[in-house]
Amino acid sequence: MRYVKDAASVIRSKNAGPYELTFDLMFPDAETYEQVRHSITKEKIAALYKIDVSQVLSIIHFAPAHAVKITIVRPRASGDLGETDVYGAQQHAPLLELTY
């Protein structure tokens, strides 16, 4: 079992519009991408973020960038009362715990 963070070249989060939060995991080459991509599941993401699986909207594999994109429902619309991260740029840290 290995950590995705050691294989990935980019692990980031950002708003995709004010109502969704999207995560990109990018790998340095096609080989690493192939090794890791199937181990990233909606169930694992839901467990890491303590959310219901239904809140994980999609996991998309994008070969041209050796990337896996995960999109979840934002806990609240960007800037709503109780907001912690208007741009959604610092929500990626739990992904550093992903393994494959």
Partner 1 sequence: MSELRVLSPTAILGYGFPLSSFQAGLERDPHVIAVDAGSTDPGPYYLGAGKSFTQRAPVKRDLHYLVKAALERGIPLIIGTAGGSGAKPHVDWTLEIIKEILQELGVRAKLAVIYSDVDRELLLRELRRGRIQPLGPVGPLTEEEILASSHIVAQMGLEPIMEALEAGAQIIVAGRAYDPTVFAALPVLKGYDLALALHMGKILECAAIAASPGSGSDCLFGYLQEDAFILEALSPERTCTKLSVAAHTLYEKSNPYELPGPGGTLDLRETRFAELPGGKVKVSGTRFRPTEKYYLKLEGARQVGYRTISIAGVRDPIMISQIDDIIAAVKERVADNFRDLRDYQLHVHCYGKNGVMGSLEPQIEPAHELGLVMEAVAPTQEVADTICSFFRSTLLHYGYPGRKSTAGNLAFPYSPSDTSTGAVYRFNIYHLLEVDDPKGLFPLEIREE
SS3 call for 29: coil
d(CA 18, CA 73): 10
Least gap, CB of 13 to partner 1 (angstroms): 10
Q: How far is CA 43 from CA 18, 32, 49, 52, 80, in A?
A: 24, 22, 10, 9, 27
User: Least distance in Å: CB of 1 to partner 1?
Assistant: 18
- Beta carbon of residue 58, minimum distance to partner 1 (angstroms, whole number): 6
Contacts to partner 1 by CB under 8 A: 10, 14-20, 22, 24, 26, 48-51, 57-58, 60, 62, 64-67, 69, 71, 73-75, 77-87, 90-91, 93-94, 97
